[in-house]
Structure 1
Amino acid sequence: MTLAPQTEIDRQGRGWYKRNEIAVTPWLFLAPAILFFAVYVIIPIFQSINLSFYNWDGLGEKTWVGLDNYVQLADDPAFEVSLWNNVKWLVFYLLAIPAGLFIALFLNQTVTGIRLYKSLFFFPFVISQVVVGLVFSWFYLPNEGLLNGILGLVGLGPINVLGDPTLATYGIIAAGLWPQTAYCMILYLTGLNAVDPEQVEAARLDGAKGWKMLWYVIVPQLKPATFIAFVVTIIGALRSFDLISIMTNGGPFGQTRVLSFYMFEKALAEFGFRMGYGAAIAVVLFLIMLVFIAYFLWSMWQEERAR
């Protein structure tokens, strides 16, 4: 009679959890987060998609309208303005990434007072968006604002940034760039700590310096930080709401609306509470975000597969 190996005896004598402990334990830790994510994110997404096919004021009975809400969006000039403003936010908000990189490169030096400089550049990231909006609203004041005070010193006339339909959106984007640049700076400062000094030294021995050193040696090693900066910046541009609400409330003449703010107006702010129409706007915004998120996830998967 031959005895089974000790490992086989252990497997037969242990319960299911003990046999699968390594595979199951991580899922047990993830279960609460998955549950909350499903309840507060996944389920509401499908509820919003379903609601977009109805006409509902939030209180009475829902009325099925099919694709009527989406057909109205196609002919809605306010929706067109909001969508175009979101494109502007996307384009100009991406300036935070190179700006954050160059500030991080400066703050990565060992010079006198560098801790003070880091604190000053880090400050916008820790203050509320509401405070940022108020500060820039005062900065843009037509008569008492600092901006017009500076323009007056060089002989230029006062401008009403937030009162001009052609300038207001760019003024709000500039306000948003301030904390977003600080966030990108923090990402790049973290990434610079992981740069391989041996590669930098080898590049110096080969004669690389300045822009060549930055482009061919430093930037490739900052790819993970750049990836996160792109994702966070694009999502931040698409979901911009608080600065617009504080600084212009969508004005002047509705020219600073973006999709998230227009969704809020239609669903909750206007008389009648067009919840279904607001949900349709939210679905359009979600699909735009989904395109970018899917692209970034696909790029990340391609990189992992190539390793």
Structure 2
Amino acid sequence: MTQATLPDTHPGRGRSWWRRNQIGITPWLFLAPGIAFFALYVIFPIFQSFDVSLHAWDGLGEPRYIGMENYAELAEDPAFYTSLRNNVIWLLLYLLAIPAGLFIALFLNQTVTGIRLYKSLFFFPFVISQVVVGLVFTWFYDPTFGLLNIVLGWVGLGPVNVLGDPAYVTYGIIAAGLWPQTAYCMILYLTGLNAVNPEQIEAGRLDGAKGWRMLWHVVLPQLRPATFIAFVVTIIGALRSFDLISIMTNGGPFGESRVLSFYMFEVALSEYGFRMGYGAAIAVVLFVIMLLFIAYFLWSMYREERDR
């Protein structure tokens, strides 16, 4: 008489550790190369910058530990405060790219004649190099043959040397930077508008919402992810602005167009004698400012999602 075989109540028994955990481990294996590169080229340099900022180092010799002396010197450096002031101006005015990009996206989201041509024209600034943008606006502002002063001459106003006047230079460079940044925000919002729920739009119309009320109460809440990305990218762009300043003024006139990223380059790799430690201290301050802004927006989004 044969004995009946009982079913195995432990299907994982006898299998290898890999087979039992394959489903949970496989995603991490795909992520591992990206995590390794991120840690090596982003996380490690951040901590390395903190360490370098505590040393006096010319980039070649032996670093000499000096503690917080670089930060103490920053607190008494007028060029640092000029750069910090300009960064605040950049940050405030650069945020204009977000509403400008939104309204352009709302216009381009309509069905009108020649809309593809309009989209191409508005998209064009995003695909060209910042170096090209800087050169174009340098010619535009030129006091002798620039288009700006030609137009001002038509209305009887004298020539204005935008890039040579300490009172105007920062605003002139910001205007140049807003051109491609607005195009970038426009692309984000165009993508977000494609995901707007048409049923909510129709429900809003039935409730009598239109114009600004429709935009504020129906459309913008669905554009929160695009708005968050636009804020983060715009803030980072404003705080690390370097290339336009380097191309258009090289920090002049008299250092009035410097921002923290450009001043960091000057003290670490340019005319100030390769002060790597002092440049790293500026980089740390800039990193902390960025971190505070991004952490605030992340916390705001988390709180909104939690309260829903």
Q: Would the TM-score normalized by the shorter structure come out above 0.5? A: yes
The alpha carbon displacement at 1:303 in A equals: 3.8
1:63 is matched with which residue?
A: 64
Q: Distance in 1 between matches of 2:213 and 2:293?
A: 30
The alpha carbon displacement at 1:238 in A equals: 0.5
Counting only pairs closer than 5 Å after superposition, residues 17-36 of structure 1 correspond to structure 2 as 17-36=18-37
The alpha carbon displacement at 1:271 in A equals: 4.4
Q: Which moved more, 1:294-303 or 1:228-237?
A: 294-303
Q: Distance in 2 between matches of 1:191 and 1:271?
A: 46
1:3 is matched with which residue?
A: 6
1:221 is matched with which residue?
A: 222
Structure 1 residues 302 and 12: alpha-carbon distance in aligned structure 2, compared to 1, 3 A threshold: farther
Q: Distance in 2 between matches of 1:240 and 1:15?
A: 54
**Per-residue displacement from partner, 1:72-120 (whole Å, max 9, x unpaired)?**
0000000000000000010000000000000000000001100000000
CA contact (8 A) 2:266 2:272 kept: no
1:235 is matched with which residue?
A: 236
Q: Distance in 1 between matches of 2:300 and 2:5?
A: 54
For structure 1, the 5+ residue unaligned runs are none
**Per-residue displacement from partner, 1:130-163 (whole Å, max 9, x unpaired)?**
0000000000000100111111111111100000
The alpha carbon displacement at 1:202 in A equals: 1.4
Q: Distance in 2 between matches of 1:281 and 1:5?
A: 65
For structure 2, the 5+ residue unaligned runs are none
1:132 is matched with which residue?
A: 133
Where 1:13 maps in the other structure, the secondary structure is: coil
Counting only pairs closer than 5 Å after superposition, residues 184-223 of structure 1 correspond to structure 2 as 184-223=185-224
Q: Distance in 1 between matches of 2:232 and 2:272?
A: 36
Counting only pairs closer than 5 Å after superposition, residues 263-274 of structure 1 correspond to structure 2 as 263-274=264-275
- Once superposed, which parts of structure 1, at least 4 consecutive aligned residues long, lie more than 4 Å away? none
Q: Distance in 2 between matches of 1:116 and 1:15?
A: 61
2:183 is matched with which residue?
A: 182
Where 1:59 maps in the other structure, the secondary structure is: coil
Q: Distance in 2 between matches of 1:149 and 1:20?
A: 71
Where 1:12 maps in the other structure, the secondary structure is: coil
Q: Distance in 2 between matches of 1:253 and 1:124?
A: 30
TM-score, normalised with respect to structure 1:
0.96
Q: Distance in 2 between matches of 1:237 and 1:243?
A: 11
Q: Distance in 2 between matches of 1:96 and 1:114?
A: 21
**Per-residue displacement from partner, 1:257-294 (whole Å, max 9, x unpaired)?**
00000000000002421110000000000110110121
2:76 is matched with which residue?
A: 75
2:246 is matched with which residue?
A: 245
1:101 is matched with which residue?
A: 102
TM-score, normalised with respect to structure 2:
0.96
Count, aligned residues: 305
Let me know the Cα RMSD of the aligned residues: 1.3
Q: Distance in 1 between matches of 2:132 and 2:125?
A: 10
1:173 is matched with which residue?
A: 174
The alpha carbon displacement at 1:304 in A equals: 4.2
The alpha carbon displacement at 1:18 in A equals: 2.0
